[in-house]
A and B are shown apart, each in its own frame.
Chain A
Amino acid sequence: MKMRALALLRTFHLRLSRSRRWLFLPVIALCLIPLNTRADGIGGILFLFHTITSTLQGPIGGALNEMRKVSAEVNDFRQQIIWPLAMINQARGFVSATRARYTGLMSQIAGIKNNSATLALPIQFESMFRGAQSGSIGQIPSIYTQVYQPVALAGIAQPGQRNLMDIDDAISMDSLKTAMVSDQTTQSMLTLADSLEQQAVAAAPGSASMVAAQACVADLETQAQLTKMLAAQLRQEATKLAHQNALLKQRSVATQNLQNQIQQVLAHP
């Protein structure tokens, strides 16, 4: 019995000696991990963090701050220098005030009647060609003929003279008709100008360029119409000049005829 107990104890001791070896294995393993490897990993991470934070603070943060400043400055510049709301409203107010001040006055001045004829036919004629109604154009020849007489009949005047009378009358009437049309379009242009001004009151800086372009187009229309009036004036002046010249030619022929007749009289006493 005693011997068996001692053998058991010896076996246990041997087993314990083997376990002790196992116990030291983790300790040795821990000691075998190189300390410099751990140090190197931490240093790298620290360096990486430093790089990231310095990049965030420097290039990115700095640039973003600059962008923020520039964005704010641009915004302020637009709102305070280029398109300040107060100035926009002031300009609109100015347009309204100008409109209120001048529109009525100008309308009154333009509406003054210049008719000055005193006799029945001239009064009728004058009111017609100052009426700015293109619908009355057809009535012009008849009333013109009543006021200025028709072209002389063939037996009363020579063909050359009759032609002169007719072309003078024609150009005169043409010009009066053109003036009537022009007066009517002038009224339309004034209405357009009024619309443009109304638009200017309600326009925004962005839409004002569209209104300005519209005004430019209307200006071009007016210019074209003015050119047409100038063409009518040129026709008038040219006809007048041609008329004077034709008279000179007729006088020359008449003088020549007179000279021939005098010579004939002197030749036969």
Chain B
Amino acid sequence: MSRPTLFGLWKLLRSVMVAVCGLAIVVGLLPSKARSQLGLDPCCAIMSAGLNSISGLLRGAVALPLGSIQQNQQQSANFEQQVVFPLPAITQARNMALQFQSQFVQMRQLFQLPISSATLRTPQLLEQSLLSGNPGAMPQITSSYSALYGTVMPPANAPQPVRNMVDMTDAEAQAAMKKAVEIDALANLELQAAEQINQQLQTAAPGSSTILEAETAAWLVRANAYTQSAMAELVRVRSIELANSSDQVKFSASHTAALQSTGNQVLQQGVR
């Protein structure tokens, strides 16, 4: 081969060598594993590490406390369902209210049995009003009372102190009778209320039963107040009775003194 030919061949070989070296450099500069484009491989590594860290944190800082909270709440729910508010106990309490209802009705009916016993017309009228439990019948008590026990005697028949005592006694006796009618009516209403509250209890929940308990407690306070007012009336009746006894002693003393004085006068006239 001639020299120029050899020279051309050498240049060709050199160009090929340069191209191969350039390609090798480019290949060498490129990453060995292509995970992403445009040279973001370090980001992927960081992202992987970050996501791993987040995953670990979610497991440790979030999932663990949440699991614990869920466990606590489950335990709490079980405790409440099995120990605090067991359904069988609640049902049993409701059933008891159902049983009580018939007992209450029976007792109310017992107190409604007729008990009147008078045989004569005038006492019958008074007794009827007294046992009626009807506050509307109160005006009839005054007339029936007067018909049976009479009215205050006329001034000619008794001295004024005696008339006062009699009037006071009649007044208290009538008031006590009226009070008896009044509290009978109130007691009937209390019995009705008790039955109604009991009906509510048959379907009540543990949470609502306390409201019904409060309502019943209010009724109890009311009932106690009425009982107290009846007791006060009873005390007044006894007081008037005591006052009458005292008045009787006073009248006796006065009569004895008058008798003694009259006796002395008669004896003095006899001596003369």
Contact = CB atoms under 8 A, between A and B. Distances in A.
Q: How large is the interface on B (under 10, 10 to 19, 20 to 34, 35 or more residues)?
A: 35 or more
B258 interface: no
A210 B69 contact: no
Instruction: Determine the main DSSP class of B at the interface with A.
Output: helix
Given A13-B11, A64-B61, A46 B46 contact: yes
Interface string B73-113: 10110011001111001101110110110011011001101
A246 interface: yes
A167 B148 contact: yes
Contacts of B103: 188, 191-192
Given A20-B19, A78-B79, A162-B120, A233 B150 contact: no
Contact of A134 (B110, B153, B173, B191): B110
Contacts of A2: 2
B83 A88 contact: yes
Interface of B: 2, 4-5, 8-9, 11-12, 15-16, 18-19, 22-23, 25-26, 29, 38-40, 42-43, 46-47, 50, 53-54, 57-58, 60-62, 65-66, 68-69, 72-73, 75-76, 79-80, 83-86, 89-90, 92-94, 96-97, 99-100, 103-104, 106-107, 110-111, 113, 115-120, 122-124, 126-127, 130-131, 145, 148-150, 152-153, 156-158, 162, 165-166, 169-170, 172-177, 179-181, 183-184, 186-188, 190-191, 193-194, 197-198, 201, 204, 206, 209-210, 212-213, 216-217, 219-220, 223-224, 226-227, 230-231, 233-234, 237-238, 240-241, 244
Interface of A: 2, 5-6, 9-10, 12-13, 16-17, 19-20, 23-24, 26-27, 30, 33, 38, 41-42, 45-46, 48-49, 52-53, 56-57, 60-61, 64-65, 67-68, 71-72, 74-75, 78-79, 83, 85, 88, 134, 137, 140-141, 144, 151, 160, 162-164, 166-167, 169-171, 173-174, 177-178, 181, 184-185, 188-189, 191-192, 195-196, 199, 202-207, 209-214, 216-221, 223-228, 230-235, 237-246, 248-250, 252-253, 255-256
